């Protein structure tokens, strides 16, 4: 068992490594929403040792999954780390500890997500191949798949953060220690499209240490990444945003002379962005170093941020670090972290949860269109699913536009709390033009249908990010009877073969009747001729 002095020294070493090197365990501001927090509660873990780097997520059954890194230092020799799991059921409490990664090598810094297909997935760093690489494994209906190696590199890859965006794409971020006389640590990432992992991309190139990535997907579909960087001298928190096309520049979030580490980012059900992190505080001997958790919030998608808010202020003798934060179906924010409470010896996992957060929130949950592609004069059917995700009855107006110019349909609805409703609009593709589309005329090719809900009273800026959704609709040129996206000799041949035919004729072909008047004649030839050689 460690004594108080040994514990402090161990924390100082761990904190320095977290922020700098990927080696061993590498005025009063009101809180947002005026939430209150439960007392800090220790997770009942049976193993004796270091319980560090927690990560949690809620599964499809409403249970909380907590994973963490475990290091057995109860004996003379410290054993390599493993990854453990514990599940919390609201009715029965915490379940038993379960070892999910027990490779003889060192396995550490796990990250956990709940996938859209209801599987659970973890990512972690392991040096089973000699250096540290990133591995993943998936749990589907209670069965764990084998460990899968994602990065293969002679350099050390550690501290992964895994997430899934609104399109279902998986994102995996990690830090890598690069070689050289001046050591540099940068962030990298890969994405998974459902079939295979793509090529790795380097995200930061600043000389110094960029570490501890934490990623999340916001309601507007953008990907946010927070991390710590020493580029300003001290280790501070930075973030950047992917808007679907490019990443924004690196933005500094905190400005403090004390070292900071392990940010955790999330967006709550009211659209507020929360970033938690650990900060080292210098205090008088014999403690010397205190580790506390802080957070900042933004209610306007990052345009402005609150001041730093102290989250843990238990005592100047305790060390709190490595927060994990999420919001679950009980409408509360749950924060887990590692701490040497209550006796400055072993590191265990603690948590607090907030009071429930109420919100106004309507959303477009889905949009489908048929047929796609659509031929000239086709009747296009657009189905839009809308939802009330908040806690109040709402009156909304749903509008569907083609390319922001052509009105497909608009209507108002009353949505009850938790209600989903599918709305159908019908629109006929006509009035095609080669140039100058407007409120009446459309250009054949790739077009976009956008379904939008008005923001309701009390709906935050953050919650308005999912009030619209778009889908690509391909409109074929008139005369393209083969539906291959162009009008050419093949189309003319089909029309000619059906010449002068009507329904019931032996040579009748409905696709040759371009204007849908029941006869294939000179008018159909004229339409095809007008669009001759047009290609989308």
| 424 within 8 A of 433, measured Cβ to Cβ | no
- SS3 state at 525: helix
- Please give the pLDDT value at position 179: 85
| 178 within 8 A of 185, measured Cβ to Cβ | yes
Q: What is the dotted CATH code of the domain comprising 362-475?
A: 2.60.40.10
- Please give the pLDDT value at position 247: 98
For the domain made up of 489-530, give the CATH fold: Type 1 dockerin domain (1.10.1330)
For the domain made up of 4-353, give the CATH fold: Neuraminidase (2.120.10)
**CA count, 13 A, side-chain hemisphere, 230:** 15
Look at strands 82-89 and 98-101 and give their pairing. antiparallel
* CB-count burial class (<10 Å; 0-12, 13-18, 19+) for 445: middle
Domain ranges of the chain: 4-353, 362-475, 489-530
Q: Look up tokens 């050591």; give the residue.
A: 183
Read off the pLDDT of each residue in 475-499 and give the average, rounded to a whole number.
Answer: 97
| Average model confidence (pLDDT) across the chain | 90
- Please give the pLDDT value at position 182: 63
Give the pLDDT confidence of 174-192 residue by residue, as tens digits: 999 998 756 789 999 999 9
d(CA 274, CA 505): 69
* CB-count burial class (<10 Å; 0-12, 13-18, 19+) for 504: exposed
**Predicted confidence band of residue 230 (pLDDT cuts 50, 70, 90):** very high
Give the pLDDT confidence of 87-123 residue by residue, as tens digits: 999 999 999 999 999 889 999 999 999 999 999 999 9
DSSP string, 179-232: -SSS-EEEEEEEEE-SS-B---EE----SSBEEEEEEEE-TTS-EEEEEEEEEE
Read off the pLDDT of each residue in 242-260 and give the average, rounded to a whole number.
Answer: 95
């Amino acid at each position: 068992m460690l004594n108080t002095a040994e514990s402090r020294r161990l924390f100082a070493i761990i904190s320095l490594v977290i922020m700098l090197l990927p080696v061993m365990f590498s005025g009063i501001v009101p809180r947002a929403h005026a939430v209150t927090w439960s007392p800090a509660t220790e997770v009942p873990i049976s193993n004796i040792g270091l319980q560090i780097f927690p990560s949690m997520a809620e599964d499809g059954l409403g249970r909380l999954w907590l994973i963490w890194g475990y290091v057995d230092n109860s004996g003379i020799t410290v054993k390599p780390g493993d990854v453990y799991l514990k599940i919390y059921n609201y009715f029965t409490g915490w379940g038993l500890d379960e070892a999910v990664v027990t490779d003889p090598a060192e396995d550490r810094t796990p990250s956990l997500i709940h996938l859209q297909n209801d599987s659970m997935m973890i990512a972690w760093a392991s040096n089973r191949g000699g250096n540290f690489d990133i591995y993943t494994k998936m749990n589907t209906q209670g069965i764990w798949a084998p460990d899968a190696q994602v990065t293969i590199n002679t350099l050390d890859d550690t501290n992964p953060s895994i997430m899934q965006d609104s399109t279902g794409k998986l994102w995996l971020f990690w830090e890598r220690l690069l070689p050289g006389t001046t050591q540099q640590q940068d962030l990298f990432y890969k994405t998974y499209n459902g079939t295979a992992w793509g090529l790795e991309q380097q995200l930061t190139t600043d000389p110094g240490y960029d570490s501890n990535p934490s990623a999340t997907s916001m309601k507007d579909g953008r990907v946010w990444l927070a991390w710590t960087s020493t580029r300003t001298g001290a280790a501070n928190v930075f973030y950047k945003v992917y808007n679907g096309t490019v990443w924004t520049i690196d933005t500094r979030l905190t400005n403090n002379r004390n070292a900071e580490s392990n940010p955790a980012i999330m967006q709550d059900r009211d659209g507020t962005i929360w970033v938690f992190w650990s900060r080292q505080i210098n205090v008088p001997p014999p403690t010397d170093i205190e580790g506390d958790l802080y957070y900042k919030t933004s209610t306007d998608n990052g345009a402005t941020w609150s001041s730093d808010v102290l989250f843990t202020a238990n005592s100047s003798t305790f060390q709190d670090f490595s927060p994990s934060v999420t919001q679950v179906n009980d409408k509360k924010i749950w924060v887990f972290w590692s701490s040497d409470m209550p006796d400055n010896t072993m590191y265990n996992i603690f948590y607090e949860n907030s009071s429930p957060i109420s919100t106004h929130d309507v959303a477009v949950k889905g949009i489908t269109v048929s047929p796609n592609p659509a031929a000239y004069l086709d009747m296009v059917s657009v189905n839009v699913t809308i939802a009330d995700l908040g806690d109040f009855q709402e009156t909304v107006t749903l509008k569907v536009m083609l390319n922001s110019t052509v009105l497909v349909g608009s209507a108002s609805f009353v949505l009850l709390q938790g209600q989903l409703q599918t709305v159908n609009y019908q629109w006929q593709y006509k009035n095609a033009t080669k140039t100058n589309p407007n409120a009446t005329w459309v250009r054949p090719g790739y077009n976009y249908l956008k379904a939008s809900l008005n923001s309701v009273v009390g709906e935050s800026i953050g919650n308005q990010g999912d009030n619209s959704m778009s889908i690509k609709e391909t409109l074929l040129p008139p005369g393209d009877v083969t539906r291959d996206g162009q009008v050419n000799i093949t189309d003319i041949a089909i029309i000619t073969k059906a010449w002068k035919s009507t329904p019931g004729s032996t040579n009748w072909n409905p696709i040759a009747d371009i204007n849908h008047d029941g006869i294939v004649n000179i008018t159909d030839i004229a339409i095809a001729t007008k669009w001759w050689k047009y290609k989308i």
